[in-house]
Each structure stands twice: as C-alpha cells, then as structure tokens.
Chain A
Amino acid sequence: MQSNRLGWILLAPTLAILFFFGVLPFIYVVYVSFHQWNPFAADPTMIFNGADNFRKIVFDAEFLNSVGVTVLFVLFAVISELVVGYILAQAFMKEFPGKAIFRTIHTLPLIMAPIIVGSVWKLMMTPSIGIIPHYLNEWFGITVNIGTSPVAAFATIIIMDIWHWTPLVTLTLIAALVSLPPDPFEQAQIDGANKRQIFFHITVPMIAPAVVATVFIRLMDALRTVDEVWMLTGGGPGSATRFVGVHIFKEVFPKTNYGYGSTISVIVLYLTIVACWLLYVTMLAPRSKKD
C-alpha cells in the first residue's frame, strides 16, 4: 500500500476549494452572528452583542413556525417521493414495450431549474385562470385557491416537489434493485415465503443503504428549498409556506438584517448537520464498518 501522502495530495484540491469557498464564508457568518448589524439601522455599524441573537432565536415565533413548516414539508415530500419512487422503480423492473422511452420521460423533470418549475406551477395554479383550478372547478366543482387556502398552497408545493424530485429517487432505487442478487429471492420462494415477507425481510434490508443515501440527498436539498416556493407562493398564504430558506431570504435580503439573519443560518445549518449526522451514523456508518 502506498503512503498516506498520496491520499492527502489527492484530497488537497477538494479541501482547498471547500476551504476558500465554504469554510471562510462560514467563519464570516459565524462572526457576524454574534453582532447586531443592519446597514439601515440608526447605527449602521456592526455591534458586538454576545449571544443575544442566539437568545432571541429561542423565542422567535416566526422562526420557530418556519422550522415547523419546513420539517412538515420535508417529511411529507421525502416520504412521498420514497414511496412513489419505489413503486415506479418496481414497475420498471418488469419488461414491457417502450420501457426505455418511458424511463427517459420519467427523468425529464430532473433537468428543470427550480425557478422554472416554480414559474410553471404558479401559472398552472393561478386561482381561477390557471389550468388546474380552472378544470377542477369546471369538472368537479372544487375551488382551489392557493392564495387563500394554506392547505392548498402547502399541498401544491409538496406535489410540485414530488413531481420534480421523484425521478431521482426512482433512478437510484432502480440501480439498487438491478444489482440485487437473485439467489435469496429464489431461496425464499422455495421456502414458501409470501410477498410481504420477502419484501420486509429480504428486499428492504438489501436496498436500505441506497434508500438512506437517497433520502440523505433529498433531505439536504429539501431543507434548503427556496426558488420554487419563492416563485409560487412567496411564503404565503400568511406564513403557511414560509420555509426556513424563504424566511432567511426575507431576513437578509429585504430586511438587510445581516446580524440576526446570520444567527438563524448558523442555527439552521447546525440543525441540518445534526439531523443528517444522526441519519448517517445510525443507518450508513455501521454498514461501511462491516465492509
């Protein structure tokens, strides 16, 4: 085996880039988070205020609300994507005419920019004139108004997210299912196991790593969702879809509240890392140790 020096050399460019464009900005944000700083306050300079911002955040109802809706959104969206993605991946395991074409079609949403996805859905969902509310009303007499109904707005965002990101889940699950060895399944069938038993005792454990890896990526990305929501609802109605990403955006852009906005970001980043770390150590790390 070669020396570790080569390993560090290979890692060096990655670490350097992440240091200059990830770590340094992060240090700056942490530094700012201990200050009161709004360039349009009576005193526009940075004023050190210790842990005041961190104390304030605990009682900040708007922030806590945004964390709540974000968690709800991530849970709904990621679980739905997983379920739908699995069903579709299983459906792709069978041979049928036109499979390649259908698979290509199914990957199309992936290549659309979030800001474009948000725009299209906004146009489709505009109350009364958008095609979806229009025909729901004309055919079924259902009135959907994402400007007044928090449930409609929230559901639209989840459906939009499912539409946009399920293909990624499907693809990774297909990859996992394709690489499953056939022997355990054949053996189980010989032993007379039913479909449910096979699913829970053989399929699930074997594709678990791929599932977790996919959930990990989706979790990370869903937690920082901004563009689509910004285009679709702007965080409304009220604060129903004001996810943390949107909340931070409003705090640092129009409000220019750089100090407190940094504090929120540090906390959000911390919570994200903790959530992902827990997922990582409980689900993935043990497996790689076994290898």
Chain B
Amino acid sequence: MKKNNPIIAIVFWSLVSFLTLFPIYWLFVISVKPAVQLFSTPDVILSDPYWGNYAKVWGDRLLRSYMVNSLVISTGNALLCTILGFFACYALSRFKMAGKESLFFWTITNRMAPPAVFLLPLFLLMTQVYAVGDFRLLDTRIGMILVYCTFNLPFAIWTLRPTLDGIPKELDEAAYVDGASSWKVITEIVFPLCRPGLAVTLILTWVFAWNEYLLAATLTNFNARTLTTGLSEYVTTTGTEWGIMATISVFTLIPALIVFGLVQKHIVAGLTFGAVKG
C-alpha cells in the first residue's frame, strides 16, 4: 500500500463535501426564511432562523397523510420489486430457458419509456379495466405500488442479475444432492448470500419510488397522494410558496436519510454490477 498524506485527502474531501452539501444547505436556508426575505440579496450565513414553515407543514393534516402514503407506497414497492427481481434473476441465472437473454433485455426496456404519454393509457386501464364493482385501481396505494414496478422492477433485475450470476451454481447443486427442496435452496442458501445486493436494490428502488412525481401527480387524487405531489400544491399563480416547498423537501429527506443510513455499509458490497470474480 502506498503512503498517503491524509491532510491532502481531507482537504480534497472537505472541498467536495462542501460542493455536495451546499444545495442541501440552501434548501434548509430557504425553509427557515420568511417569504418576505427570500427575494432580497442572499446571505450565505444563516441568521435568525424562522420556524414558521415547519410548524405549518407539521400541523397540516393533509401533508401528514401524504407522508404516510409515500412511506407505504415506496416501502411496499421496494419490497415487491426486490423480491420479484430476486426470483426473476434466480430464474434467469439458473435455468436454460429459451430466449431468456432477450427476455432479460426486454424487462429493462420498460424503464426506458418516456412517461408522459403512458399516463393516458394507465389512467384508462386503472379506471376502467382494473376495476371491480366500485373499486378501481386509480388513486389507491396498491395501484401506485404496482405502477411503480414499471420502472423499479427493471432496475431491480438489472442490479440483481450480476449478484445472482456471481454465486456459484455448485452451491445449489450440492444442496439438491443433499435432498433440499427448490424453495429451501432459494430461501436458505442463495438468498442469504445475496444480502448486500438485495439491500442496495431495496434502498435504491425505495429512493426512486419515494421521489417519483409525474405518475403520482396524475394517478392519485385524494387517497393515495404522495409527498412529492404535495409539493406541486405550492406552485400557484399567486406565488410559489418556496418556504413551504423547501420545508416539505426537508421532510422528504429525513426518512430517505434514515433508510440510507441503515444500509450504508451494504451499499458498496452490493453494487457489484458484474465486477465479481468469476
């Protein structure tokens, strides 16, 4: 190992961290400024913070329900995508199914669609086709969980495939020889070995779902509205409520930060993307 001067590294990283943190810091500054001060000459240093926006956002019954919806939808979607993605990748990696590589690529293409134009058919399907009696999928949490699969499931499959490919087939085969069932092999042998990859997939799909805006804005109305759609309520013809928007943004960051913090150590281990020694 080479000898490095830690001072240089620390100075370098402090600089990079400053650039990384500044916009986030600025978001916070906006959230604690009264509206009247926002459009005067900007001060870098924060003085005399104003917490009125936080009181307002926290006291807003609707925003609290949006927060719950966001949590349920992104957690449900991330779990669903990670588990289904794991099963799918296991199948793609272990079986010699005809056309499986094309199938693999096809699943990924679902993420490439420009979303704007797909809103209309999704709206029609979710109001008229995916409906039983009075129940329709539009504006439901389960509906959003399923819709988000269109971009998160491909991502999960894309990140998990190398992980699954990296686990030697001999392990499964040895277990089968010992008389283990398929279910047991998948859940008790392969699954634990994939943990880092699964953790990363879980967190990144969670973040993508948590941050999604356009689909949620169109496909929810009252019951399943998410925090990001709550943001758009503050862009109005009589002025954008930047302070409130920034405060909501800070609130959206907190759960994301917690979830990210929890799996931080797995992230690097999980993002192997085919660099595994095979």
Query: Interface on A for B, CB 8 Å cutoff?
Result: 1-2, 4, 6-8, 10-11, 13-14, 17-18, 20-22, 24-26, 28-29, 32, 88, 91, 94-98, 100, 102-117, 119-121, 123-124, 129-131, 134-135, 163, 167, 171-172, 174-176, 178-181, 206-207, 209-210, 213-214, 216-217, 220-221, 223-224, 226-227, 244-245, 248-249, 252-253, 258, 261-262, 264-265, 268-269, 272-273, 276-277, 280, 284-285, 287-288, 291
- Nearest CB of chain B from residue A217's CB, rounded to whole Å: 7
User: B146 near A17 (CB under 8 angstroms)?
Assistant: yes
Interface centre among A96, A98, A111, A213 (most CB of B within 10 A): A111
Q: Which residues of B contact A21 (CB under 8 A)?
A: 122, 125, 146-147, 149-150
Complex interface residues of chain B between 213 and 231 (CB less than 8 A to chain A): 213-214, 228, 231
Give Cα A121–Cα B27 distance, bound, in whole angstroms: 9
Contact A110 B207 (CB under 8 A): yes
Interface centre among A26, A98, A113 (most CB of B within 10 A): A113
Residues of B within 8 A of A129 (CB): 39-42
**Per-residue A-contact encoding for B1-22, CB less than 8 Å = 1, 0 else:** 0101010011011001101110
Q: Judge whether B6 and A248 touch: CB under 8 Å.
A: no
Q: How many angstroms between the C-alpha atoms of A269 and B125 in the bound complex?
A: 21
What distance in Å separates the Cβ of A227 from its nearest Cβ neighbour in chain B?
Answer: 5
Kindly provide the distance from the CB of A156 to the nearest chain B CB, expressed in whole angstroms. Answer: 12
In the assembled complex, the CB of B249 is this many whole angstroms from the nearest CB of chain A, namely 4
What is the CA–CA distance of A44 and B165 in the complex, to the nearest angstrom?
A: 52
Given A22-B150, A107-B267, 14 more pairs with CB closer than 8 A: A7-B92, A11-B97, A17-B150, A25-B121, A29-B118, A88-B16, A112-B249, A120-B30, A129-B42, A174-B268, A213-B274, A258-B120, A265-B114, A291-B278
**Contact partner, B87, options A10, A123, A252, Cβ 8 Å:** A10
Contacts of A94 in B (CB 8 A): 2, 4, 9
Complex-state Cα separation, A224 to B118, whole angstroms? 13
| Complex alpha-carbon distance, A239 and B83, angstroms | 42
Establish whether residues B231 and A13, one from each chain, have CB atoms under 8 Å apart when the complex forms.
no
Q: How far is the CB of A37 from chain B (nearest CB, A)?
A: 10
Report the bound CA distance from A206 to B85 in whole Å: 26
B65 close to chain A: CB less than 8 A: no
B132 contacts partner chain A, Cβ-Cβ < 8 Å: no
Interface class of chain B by DSSP: helix
Query: Contact at B24–A112, with CB atoms within 8 Å?
Result: yes
Asked if A11 meets B268 with Cβ closer than 8 Å, knowing A22-B110, A113-B211, A248-B114, the reply is no
- Which residues of chain B are within 8 angstroms of A20 by Cβ–Cβ distance? 125, 130, 146
With A18-B107, A280-B105 given, is the CB distance from A209 to B275 under 8 Å?
yes
Residue numbers in B under 8 Å from A206 (CB-CB) = 275
Given A104-B261, A120-B27, A227-B213, is A249 in contact with B275 using a C-beta cutoff of 8 Å?
Answer: no
Tell me the bound Cα distance from A258 to B91 in angstroms.
Answer: 38
Q: Are B249 and A268 in contact (CB under 8 A)?
A: no
B-side contacts of A100, CB under 8 Å? 264
Instruction: Assign chain B's interface to a size class.
Output: 35 or more
B36 interface hit (Cβ, 8 Å): no
- The answer, among B91, B112, B277, for a CB contact under 8 Å with A8, is B91
Instruction: Tell whether A14 pairs with B272 under 8 Å between CB atoms, given A96-B9, A111-B257.
Output: no
The answer to whether A116 and B231 touch (CB under 8 A), given A6-B182, A179-B276, A291-B165, is yes
Contacts of A216 in B (CB 8 A): 158
Cα separation A100 to B260 with both chains bound (whole Å): 13
Tell me the bound Cα distance from A171 to B198 in angstroms: 15
Q: B105 to chain A: which residues have CB within 8 Å?
A: 277, 280
Contacts of A32 in B (CB 8 A): 120
Give the nearest-CB partner of B18 in chain A: A105
Q: Give complex CA distance A179, B196 in Å.
A: 14
- For residue B176, which residues in chain A have a CB less than 8 angstroms away from its CB? 2
- Which chain A residues lie closer than 8 Å to B207 at the CB level? 110-111
Interface 0/1 of B80-94, CB less than 8 Å to A: 000011011011101
Measured CA separation A271–B69 after assembly (Å)? 35
- The reply to whether B9 and A26 form a contact with Cβ atoms under 8 Å apart is no
Chain B, Cβ-Cβ closest to A164: B23
Does B194 touch A at the CB level, under 8 Å?
no
A11-B92, A104-B264, A213-B158 as given contacts; A115 in contact with B21, CB under 8 Å:
no
- Closest residue to A14 on the B side, CB-wise? B88
Contact A226 B157 (CB under 8 A): no
**A15–B94 CA distance with the chains assembled, in angstroms:** 17
| Interchain CB contact under 8 A, A4 and B253 | no
Provided the pairs A91-B13, A129-B42 are in contact, do residues A13 and B84 lie with their beta carbons within 8 angstroms? Answer: yes
B249's nearest neighbour on chain A, judged by CB, is: A116
By the criterion CB–CB under 8 Å, are B275 and A210 in contact?
yes
Please measure, in the bound complex, the distance between the C-alpha atom of A86 and the C-alpha atom of B146, giving whole angstroms.
Answer: 35
